[in-house]
Amino acid sequence: MQKFSALSLARQAIGGHLGWKPQWRSVAPKPAYDIVIVGGGGHGLGTAYYLARQHGLRNIAVIERGWLAGGNTARNTTIIRSNYLFDESSSYYEHSLKLWENLSQELNYNVMFSQRGCLMVAHTVHDVQSFKRHVHANRLNGIDNEWLTAEEAKEFCPPLNISPNIRYPVLGASLQRRAGTARHDAVAWGFARAASDLGVDIIENCEVTGIMRAPTGEVTGINTTRGDIRTGKIGVSVAGHSSVVLGMAGIRLPLQSNPLQALVSEPVKPAFPTIVMSNTIHAYISQSDKGEMVIGAGTDSYVSYTQRGGLHIPAHTLEAICELFPMFRRLRMLRSWGGITDNTPDRSPITAKTSIPGLYVNCGWGTGGFKATPGAANLFAWTIARNEPHPINAPFTIERFRDGVMIDEAAAAAVAH
């Protein structure tokens, strides 16, 4: 693998940048692998990387029906934080946040992780109570989170409008300073490059169309648009299409798939120092390194597999943004898009074995799984390699919906980013 360093960059610059090689091997599928990961997003590629790096497994393929990170990995607004309420979730997201903090060094690939903090703005008495509860719960778990008055919030984020005369005045905010953003494609590319270097086959333009099973029930392989592949272990990480792929094995997941939208403005000079989320008026915003304001809109209420949504959803979000940040009223929007999210009833994910031997699933990340990319990949790899969950993901089973042991994070955010 070509290493990135100041020296290698200088050497390539002198050579006119003609010496860079492809960052991962493009291969045709082999007839059999020990493990097949379905889905070439950040979660799937990361899982393959940790299987190879931490568990010493090598005969692995990642099967992607389109191109790497063409799904939600490159469609999201990249908010990374770990200030969730319940012990189970905060330890899962904190595990991930700690991996983010060293990911660029580990992969030798700049994922542009920027810990600029995340302000969650409270507009009602209920918001204040709920966010303070999060602050206390997080601190008991050793996770940074603090409560700011409206004035302190404005000091941290000067464009914030704290006038008492707006529809939903700012009553205060919680702040996780270690929260941040990252470059979404880079996360997938970094994992792909490192996994490929460890011998993982990355196969694009190959759709999984069926799951093969022995008469005794266990998985024996997959059918794909590029032929059948035999394997004894299948890890499914396909975000919005989890119900479709698990349905191929006859498993019905407790998921609903909805479009979620985002949009960006024209690029402007650095004007926005942090991430701001407002659950009540439903808006969240940060500024990308290119200068665009990255704005997350809401989930369409209908079920759909189209990667777009209704215009009224981003329109509502923009009204809210303009109220919170009047200086953005004259910004022009550049483009908008949607992605399909797979939402569980308790808004917490599933990272688990299934009832079928050899079939594992990592799904239900809904609107908030980008932040979990390294953590989920790391724990999913553990679950597949050892055929048992790590203590951190042990509560995140499919069976919790049968047994009633929910991890109810619906209040984590209006759309759980």
Ligand X SMILES: Cc1cc2nc3c(=O)[nH]c(=O)nc-3n(C[C@H](O)[C@H](O)[C@H](O)COP(=O)(O)OP(=O)(O)OC[C@H]3O[C@@H](n4cnc5c(N)ncnc54)[C@H](O)[C@@H]3O)c2cc1C
Binding site for ligand X (CB under 6 A): 38-44, 63-66, 69-73, 75-79, 207-208, 237-239, 241, 245, 260-262, 296, 339, 341, 365, 367-371, 417
Smallest gap from residue 133 Cβ to ligand X (A):
21
- Taking alpha carbons only, the member of 340, 327, 300 closest to residue 316 is 300
Using the minimum distance from each CB to ligand X, give the nearer residue, 150 or 188: 188
Instruction: Please tell me what DSSP assigns to residue 225.
Output: T
Smallest gap from residue 165 Cβ to ligand X (A):
30
Smallest gap from residue 227 Cβ to ligand X (A):
14
Smallest gap from residue 8 Cβ to ligand X (A):
29
Using the minimum distance from each CB to ligand X, give the nearer residue, 78 or 104: 78
Smallest gap from residue 369 Cβ to ligand X (A):
2
Instruction: Please tell me what DSSP assigns to residue 145.
Output: -
Instruction: Please tell me what DSSP assigns to residue 307.
Output: S
Smallest gap from residue 70 Cβ to ligand X (A):
5
Return the number of other C-beta atoms located less than 10 Å from residue 370's C-beta: 25
Using the minimum distance from each CB to ligand X, give the nearer residue, 104 or 367: 367
Using the minimum distance from each CB to ligand X, give the nearer residue, 162 or 368: 368
Question: Are 231 and 32 within 8 A, CB to CB?
Answer: yes
Using the minimum distance from each CB to ligand X, give the nearer residue, 313 or 385: 313
Structure-token match 């860079």, residue found: 20
Return the number of other C-beta atoms located less than 10 Å from residue 209's C-beta: 13
Using the minimum distance from each CB to ligand X, give the nearer residue, 75 or 193: 75
- Taking alpha carbons only, the member of 114, 84, 248 closest to residue 184 is 114
Using the minimum distance from each CB to ligand X, give the nearer residue, 132 or 230: 230
What letters, b where the CB count within 10 A reaches 16 and e where it falls short, cover 377-397? bbbbbbbbbeeebbebbebbb
Using the minimum distance from each CB to ligand X, give the nearer residue, 152 or 185: 185
Smallest gap from residue 83 Cβ to ligand X (A):
12
Return the number of other C-beta atoms located less than 10 Å from residue 143's C-beta: 21
Helix (H, G, I), strand (E, B) or coil at 286: strand
Question: Are 254 and 290 within 8 A, CB to CB?
Answer: no
Question: Are 219 and 233 within 8 A, CB to CB?
Answer: yes
Which residues, 6 or more positions from 257, have their beta carbon under 8 angstroms from its beta carbon? 240, 241, 243, 303, 304, 305, 340, 341, 342, 343
Smallest gap from residue 204 Cβ to ligand X (A):
9
